[in-house]
Amino acid sequence: MADVTYKRCYFDWGGRCAYCDVGLPRIKWDGKVKASIDHFIPLSKGGQNSRANRVLSCYPCNLAKDDTDPRETNQWPHIEQRLAEIAASRPLSHGQLKRLLPELVKQVYVQAPVVLSPDEREAIARSKAAAERGEFATDEQVRAVWAKHGL
Ligand SMILES: [Zn+2]
């Protein structure tokens, strides 16, 4: 895939997986493919290989979606809407992408360097709410989280 196609797709989707919203700073890291481009309407089902049918996807979501046809399942209305916006917008030039991408990558990377599970996201939301009420985690709770991440 042409590099500029990936960059344009990356920019169109704000550097995040369209399906699960995880931040995707680079195509590969740790030697594994992490980011990919998915054809929203699969090519095998008549989808076009055009900007208006390309979504940025993490690799696991891309594999899981496989050749699901969104016209049959209707499960991603927000993606359809975003694709319509993308189709109506002018693609950035190579020069613009070159200028804007490093900043976006930095933002995405700072905001989401780790893929959190739904449970972990929920735990963070709970602990933020608790902190707002003036409650804090016990040492035991903190140690349990460290142990889980091998710290
Ligand atoms: Zn994903």
Distance 26 CA to ligand 1 centre (A): 14
The rounded distance, in Å, linking the Cα atoms of 105 and 130 is 31
Q: Is the pLDDT at 8 greater than 80, yes or no?
A: yes
Distance 140 CA to ligand 1 centre (A): 32
Beta-bridge partners for 33: 28
CATH of domain 3-114: 1.10.30
Distance 42 CA to ligand 1 centre (A): 17
pLDDT of amino acid 132: 79
Distance 61 CA to ligand 1 centre (A): 4
pLDDT of amino acid 16: 93
For 61-119, write each residue's pLDDT tens digit: 999 999 999 999 999 999 999 999 999 999 999 899 989 988 888 888 765 556 677 88
Range 115-134 average pLDDT = 79
Distance 19 CA to ligand 1 centre (A): 5
Neighbours of 80 (CB within 10 A): 13
**What are the residue ranges of CATH 1.10.30 in the chain?**
3-114
Residue 112 DSSP class: -
Distance 34 CA to ligand 1 centre (A): 9
Backbone torsions φ then ψ of 116, nearest 5 degrees = -95, 140
Tell me which residue of 96, 20, 111, 6 sits closest to 64, measured CA to CA.
Answer: 20
Distance 75 CA to ligand 1 centre (A): 14
Distance 100 CA to ligand 1 centre (A): 23
Distance 62 CA to ligand 1 centre (A): 7
Residues 6+ apart with CB under 8 A from 17: 24, 35, 56, 57, 58, 61
Distance 47 CA to ligand 1 centre (A): 20
Percent share of the chain, pLDDT over 70: 90
Distance 33 CA to ligand 1 centre (A): 12
